[in-house]
A and B are shown apart, each in its own frame.
Chain A
Amino acid sequence: MSKIGVFVCHCGENISSTVDCAKVAEAAGKYDGVTFSVAYKYMCSDPGQTIIKNAIAEKGLTGVVVASCSPRMHEPTFRKACAEAGLNPYMCEMANLREHCSWVHEKGEETTQKAIDLVRVLVEKIKYNHSLNPIKVPVTKTALVIGGGIAGIQASLDIANTGHKVILIEKDPSIGGHMSQLSETFPTLDCSQCILTPRMVEVAQHPNITLYTYAGLESLEGFIGNFKAKIRKKSKSIDEKICTGCGLCITKCPNKKIPSEFNEGLGNRTAIYVPFPQAVPNKPVIDRIHCTYYTKGKCRICEKVCPTQAIRFDQEDQIVEAEIGAIVIATGFTVKQPDFFPEYGYGKYPDVITGLQFERLASASGPTLGEIRRPSDGKIPQKIVFVACAGSRDQAKGIPYCSKICCMYIAKHAMLYQHKVHSGKSYVFYMDIRAGGKMYEEFVRRAIEDDGVNYIRGRISRIYEKNGKLIVNGADTLLNAMPVEIEADMVVLATAGVANEGAEELAQKLHVSYDPYHFFAEAHPKLKPVETNTAGIFLAGACQAPRDIPESVAMASGASAKVAGLFSQDELTREPLIAVVNRQPAPVYSSCVGCFLCISACPYQAIEKEELRNRNGDLIRSVAKVNPGLCQGCGTCVAFCRTKSIDIQGYTHEQVYSEVMALFNEF
């Protein structure tokens, strides 16, 4: 005979404001098999858990039903409490009175009745629960970091420094990401390259880090601690082992007019190239889309001039397979590109540029060697307008969120411009100045007060060209929306930060969720900011939302701590909620008839054939067997099994039927 305890939680007012919790406890107390029932304000608190533990000890409970929030929230909490009181944790079940009842219904009799029904279902189920023991699986102590920007670099170094192996993959020919494109960084104005490039070198030289540039994730299988990744190393068309990085091929390449991605189209590169002189690795790749040999079948000049014969035109992509224990996604972001702002003439007027392009103009490694010269004629602009929120915070553009970094980098841009062009005038059109962060507000004030940047609160309606000037029309909303017209020489748009193209494809490959803007979704916005909903996969940097450098680095270190924590154990415990093919005493052995439909149905290749043999070693027959290390408990095989020989532990046929029947039977 079961001795079940029912513990109804008010969840503060979350449940009790619409559900009569005392009545639920009273009703539950009358069910067969229930020997104890009680309602309490916060069941998850220490006194609440003590009520459960004491009841288990005093009443000798064999099962516990906690009627509170979603099991996603507190199932581990209550199972742990039960275990501490000596009850098998899988003898504890949760009825979700909050998300499934109180939050979605009005206060009333019917709502309380639904709560009572939800409890009854679990009471009937738990009568068929069995003690289960967690499954132990080994952990592969190698991390995969996807993306070699500052977040990926930081994560790789942090994990590698705890003594674990890291594979870092980067889609571009060099690591460094957007940070390597930046000039100076706010709020200290230290040079981006000076603080980044040493870290890039460290990555390349670290004994624990394997770096694959020009590479991407092909596919991923498995689960936490036991992933199998296939990495596609795109052909670089050179033999990296032989290439010395002398650069002769680059100087001789006749195809010199390809817009440089690193310089955001403001400079050119060759078809065989390294993205920038400080690249890591500093060995060239051939861009096959632009290379004359690949497009026209002739040229091969690089091959002729290479002193070490390192050019490999026939090199193919390579697939590397790796066993991985944890993954950090650090794929970053991109900014909105031309054609998105017809009202600002972007793409039509060469002197209307993005913030990222301005970074290249202001950078010592940029196309103008750090002099602010406008793209159209190379003249030094005497008047610059900076437009904040270009696309961001704009419902009509489909980007209602704040891109977060722009207020700060605009202040920095205007400041750098004023420092470099003393006679120049700069204007910033803004909606609000969002400078929350250590030394951030002070930095913006410095731009306004010390460097004389003109901040105008209002938006720009249109930019057009007239007599060689860019006419910027806007309004000053602090002066009763007075129209403002500025004849500028150059305009910089702080274009919205958006998710990378293909982010959702990657998310699907990794089985992690993403938000409506295609940024990867964290598991909890406050308490699990670097975790994803998939165990063993973590997030760092701007792939989760627009982030600045300090935040990206902090996230990366946070994700690394999670990975290190995971790798500190030799074995992982997994929930035993997996499929099991039944075994019975001889002469039946199993109700499985060996049709093996389940093998073809299983998405995780977790089912194999087992040969049943007698003591003499003679084969009796073959039946299905589930590998507990691989099974994810999805239940597909259960649905396929023609003889009902497979059950999911914790969700057996018996348990589910008893739940359903509880709803139909009168009590």
Chain B
Amino acid sequence: MTLGFYPGCSLKGSSREYAESVVAVAKAFDIEIKEINDWNCCGATAAHNLNRELSLALPARILSLAEKQGLNEIVVPCAACYSRLTVTKFELAKDPELRKKIVAANGLEYSGTAEVLNIIQMLNKYVTTKLEGRVVKPFDHKVACYYGCLLVRPHAILKFDREEDPQLMDELMLKAGATPVDWAFKTECCGAGLSVSRTSSVGRLSGKIIRDAVDRGAEAMIVACPMCHSNLDMRRGAINSFLGEKISIPVLYVTQVIGLAVGLNFKTLGLQRHFVNVTV
């Protein structure tokens, strides 16, 4: 069982622990992770605000490279990368003229056959069913599953979970031994890229998210996006000053929780790298 792997920039830098935990969990379930050779930036938010064709050509190149390497399925753990790759597939399938143009620009063949999976879809497809027998250390905590904005939207294109009230991560956490809380901010905005330019806005937006999670008794927040993670974790200072209170709820990647549940090592999963300490 081999899966293509597109890490994107975050997983090579500020979210190394996400990449580490994805690889570790995959290995634990006998999935070979094969990074796409010579991959490039997905374009993220910058490209599609500047130039539509560029914003499609960048992800199309990644998909072409995957096809070239014979990778039929690619796991894309970053929600922003996942969104760009999926939207590109959708747009190119819809418009043959545009597709011709993009293929010419990249100089690479593109058939649109590579399946793009976000981390939840990947776990759901290859890990969930096997999880039950493998849990050695149930993650016995109340958790707030935070999906963020890009993982489930736009619904017309992604269609992978219940719109506005997604459930799949909650179900996954249940299987890992955790108790998901019912809360209201599953898909609210964390402030995203304002992290750098207007940190106080991130403090406010992420603050509301953390507030509700804590008020509903969550002991940990679970995320599947490096941007969400950095805002909820790295920007905890701004959050705490907005809330006027020191809140120490840790933020874990969904793969880190699964890893812990199946008995993987704390450091293998990169849990020591968070700003808000994780104590297990």
Q: Which of A's residues lie within 8 Å of B, judged by CB?
A: 341-343, 345, 348, 396, 462, 464-466, 471
A401–B154 CA distance with the chains assembled, in angstroms: 21
Given B156, B163, B182, B184, which contacts A462 in the complex, CB threshold below 8 Å? B184
Given A466-B212, A466-B215, decide whether A343 and B156 contact each other with a Cβ distance below 8 A.
no
For A462, what are the chain B residues with a Cβ–Cβ distance below 8 Å? 184, 188
- Can you show 20 pairs from A to B with CB atoms below 8 A apart? A341-B164, A342-B162, A342-B163, A342-B164, A343-B164, A343-B165, A348-B182, A396-B154, A396-B155, A396-B163, A462-B184, A462-B188, A464-B183, A464-B184, A464-B212, A465-B184, A466-B184, A466-B212, A466-B215, A471-B184
For A348, what are the chain B residues with a Cβ–Cβ distance below 8 Å? 182
Query: B140-172, CB under 8 A of A: which get 1 and which 0?
Result: 000000000000001110000011110000000
In chain B between 201 and 255, which residues have their CB closer than 8 angstroms to a CB of chain A? 212, 215
CB proximity of A346 to chain B, nearest CB, Å: 10
A466–B215 CA distance with the chains assembled, in angstroms: 9
For B154, what are the chain A residues with a Cβ–Cβ distance below 8 Å? 396
Q: Which residue of A lies closest to B185 (CB)?
A: A464
For A345, what are the chain B residues with a Cβ–Cβ distance below 8 Å? 184
A345–B183 CA distance with the chains assembled, in angstroms: 10
For A342, what are the chain B residues with a Cβ–Cβ distance below 8 Å? 162-165
CB proximity of A481 to chain B, nearest CB, Å: 14
CB proximity of A399 to chain B, nearest CB, Å: 14
Q: A464-B184, A466-B184 are in contact. List 15 more A-B contacts (CB 8 A).
A: A341-B164, A342-B162, A342-B163, A343-B165, A345-B184, A348-B182, A396-B155, A396-B156, A396-B163, A462-B184, A462-B188, A464-B183, A464-B185, A464-B212, A466-B212
For B184, what are the chain A residues with a Cβ–Cβ distance below 8 Å? 345, 462, 464-466, 471
CB proximity of A482 to chain B, nearest CB, Å: 14
CB proximity of B206 to chain A, nearest CB, Å: 15
Q: Which of B's residues lie within 8 Å of A, judged by CB?
A: 154-156, 162-165, 182-185, 188, 212, 215
CB proximity of B188 to chain A, nearest CB, Å: 7
A56–B165 CA distance with the chains assembled, in angstroms: 72
Q: Which residue of A lies closest to B162 (CB)?
A: A342
CB proximity of A320 to chain B, nearest CB, Å: 45
For B183, what are the chain A residues with a Cβ–Cβ distance below 8 Å? 464
Q: Which residue of B lies closest to A395 (CB)?
A: B156
A341–B182 CA distance with the chains assembled, in angstroms: 16
A514–B206 CA distance with the chains assembled, in angstroms: 47
A465–B154 CA distance with the chains assembled, in angstroms: 25
For B164, what are the chain A residues with a Cβ–Cβ distance below 8 Å? 341-343
CB proximity of B161 to chain A, nearest CB, Å: 11
Q: Which residue of B lies closest to A343 (CB)?
A: B164
A341–B162 CA distance with the chains assembled, in angstroms: 11
Q: Which residue of B lies closest to A473 (CB)?
A: B188
For A471, what are the chain B residues with a Cβ–Cβ distance below 8 Å? 184
For B182, what are the chain A residues with a Cβ–Cβ distance below 8 Å? 348
CB proximity of A396 to chain B, nearest CB, Å: 6
A230–B39 CA distance with the chains assembled, in angstroms: 68
A465–B215 CA distance with the chains assembled, in angstroms: 11
Q: Which residue of A lies closest to B183 (CB)?
A: A464
For A396, what are the chain B residues with a Cβ–Cβ distance below 8 Å? 154-156, 163
CB proximity of A344 to chain B, nearest CB, Å: 9
CB proximity of A475 to chain B, nearest CB, Å: 13
For A466, what are the chain B residues with a Cβ–Cβ distance below 8 Å? 184, 212, 215
Q: Which residue of B lies closest to A397 (CB)?
A: B163
A122–B162 CA distance with the chains assembled, in angstroms: 57
Between A341, A345, A462, the greatest number of chain B beta carbons within 10 A of the residue's beta carbon is seen for A462
CB proximity of B185 to chain A, nearest CB, Å: 8
CB proximity of B241 to chain A, nearest CB, Å: 20
A343–B187 CA distance with the chains assembled, in angstroms: 9
CB proximity of A339 to chain B, nearest CB, Å: 9
A341–B155 CA distance with the chains assembled, in angstroms: 14
A462–B183 CA distance with the chains assembled, in angstroms: 12
Q: Which residue of A lies closest to B167 (CB)?
A: A342
CB proximity of A509 to chain B, nearest CB, Å: 33
Q: Which residue of A lies closest to B166 (CB)?
A: A342
CB proximity of B15 to chain A, nearest CB, Å: 27
CB proximity of A651 to chain B, nearest CB, Å: 41
A516–B162 CA distance with the chains assembled, in angstroms: 24
A396–B165 CA distance with the chains assembled, in angstroms: 15
A464–B184 CA distance with the chains assembled, in angstroms: 6
For B188, what are the chain A residues with a Cβ–Cβ distance below 8 Å? 462
A464–B187 CA distance with the chains assembled, in angstroms: 13
A343–B152 CA distance with the chains assembled, in angstroms: 13
For B212, what are the chain A residues with a Cβ–Cβ distance below 8 Å? 464, 466
Q: Which residue of A lies closest to B184 (CB)?
A: A464
The 7 lowest CB-CB distance pairs between A and B, nearest first, are A464-B184, A342-B165, A343-B164, A342-B164, A342-B162, A396-B156, A396-B155
CB proximity of B134 to chain A, nearest CB, Å: 31
A471–B182 CA distance with the chains assembled, in angstroms: 15
Q: Which residue of A lies closest to B182 (CB)?
A: A348
Q: Which residue of B lies closest to A465 (CB)?
A: B184
A267–B165 CA distance with the chains assembled, in angstroms: 28
Q: Which residue of B lies closest to A485 (CB)?
A: B208
A342–B183 CA distance with the chains assembled, in angstroms: 12
